[in-house]
Amino acid sequence: MAIKLGFIGTGSIAHAHGDAYRKMGDRIEYVACCDLNEERAKNFAEKYGFKKYYTDYKQMLAENQFDAIEVCTWNSAHAECTIAALNAGANVKCEKPMAMNTEEALAMKEAAEKNGKLLMIGFVRRHGNDANAAIDFIDKGFLGDVYFIKASYLRRAGFPGGWFGDKSRSGGGPLIDLGVHVIDLSRYVVGNPKPVTVFGATFNKIGSRNHLKTGPKDWASSTEAEDPIFTVEDLATAMIRFDNGVVLYVEASFNLNMSNNTPGGLVFYGNKAGLTLDPFELHTECNDMLADIKIHGPTGCGDFFYYEDTNFLDAIEGKAECKAPADDGIELMRILDAIYESARTGKSVDIVR
């Protein structure tokens, strides 16, 4: 039986998932999609073959039955749309970040449990070939004891525009938008340790950079043309200590006066070797000399949206374990709440549960 699919939010990222589902052929029945912006919902329905489109998700959920709902709205609508879809009997995959804060995330998990449905979080980096390869190298002992991780997601001029700069809809800036990806991937690769203590700092020194005529903008919100608003940080940095002793340093920016060549990405430092993800390389010793080992193989992201969406459907049908359960979304929100709190107070924050 085909999986009855619906979308809430049909902006930019919804198309990445639409393209992924399209590769699954008749495994999917395209029931309905919804966006506050009617034009966007209509175009999405026509492009992917949804039978109906709506501007009110409550009406869509009341008039149709779904096995699976993708929540791809701006962040402030994640919790209400997810909870409504779960209460309507659907399994839900909600885009990252899971919510605006931990409290909302906990309410979402409670709704999933109450209804006996799956709630998965769109941590797409968990599904990349590089994540699998890194875990494999660590499990087989090539890095030894991993004790420090550096995670960067720095853009020199990369504010996506629209609601991404409006704290009331985004919950924050590059930390909650970009930092989420690399913090989660770091946790995932080293076995999902729990955060214990956080020290963070955020800045808004450059702002939106909307005056720039050109720039390496690699993501744009569908609401980009709205009045410019920038009430979020433009740079965030933090150190996070986990319960297994691992320390993660993270930095994320929309705008930063850096060279385009500033190295980013993830580095896992172990006592036997360090591992960078992009390029996928080991930094170690060989015959009493320093050595860099370039790995050839499936070590890029691959078709990670397709892998993510396949995992969602497989998990719904009991064919696979969900790789990004709600619990990990909640841990991420605990980390983000603590970083913003630490940035506000100037003090480190202990995560008490």
Ligand X SMILES: NC(=O)c1ccc[n+]([C@@H]2O[C@H](COP(=O)([O-])OP(=O)(O)OC[C@H]3O[C@@H](n4cnc5c(N)ncnc54)[C@H](O)[C@@H]3O)[C@@H](O)[C@H]2O)c1
**Binding positions for ligand X, rule: CB under 6 A:** 8-14, 34-37, 40, 57, 72-75, 77, 81, 95-96, 122, 124, 162-163, 177, 219, 221-223
Give min distance, CB of 283 to ligand X, in A.
28
**Residue among 47 and 283 whose Cβ is closer to ligand X:** 47
**Residue among 77 and 351 whose Cβ is closer to ligand X:** 77
**Residue among 96 and 156 whose Cβ is closer to ligand X:** 96
Q: How many CB atoms lie within 10 A of CB 328?
A: 20
Long-range residue pairs from 34-42, CB within 8 A, at least 24 positions apart, any chain: 34/6, 34/7, 34/8, 34/9, 34/10, 34/60, 35/8, 35/9, 35/10, 35/11, 37/222, 40/10, 40/11, 40/222, 41/10
**Residue among 219 and 249 whose Cβ is closer to ligand X:** 219
Give min distance, CB of 91 to ligand X, in A.
18
**Residue among 309 and 331 whose Cβ is closer to ligand X:** 309
Read off the amino acid at residue 162: G
How far apart CA 279 and CA 185 sit, in angstroms, is 16
What does 258-307 look like in DSSP terms, one character per residue?
A: --TT---EEEEEESS-EEEETTEEEEEEETTEEEEEEPPSS-S--SHHHH
The kind and range of the H/E element at 188 are: helix 180-189
Give min distance, CB of 347 to ligand X, in A.
28
Residue nearest to ligand X (CB): 11
Give min distance, CB of 183 to ligand X, in A.
14
- Please choose, from the candidates 64, 137, 44, 302, the residue with its C-alpha nearest in 3D space to the C-alpha of residue 311: 302
**Residue among 118 and 124 whose Cβ is closer to ligand X:** 124
Give min distance, CB of 147 to ligand X, in A.
28
Give min distance, CB of 80 to ligand X, in A.
7
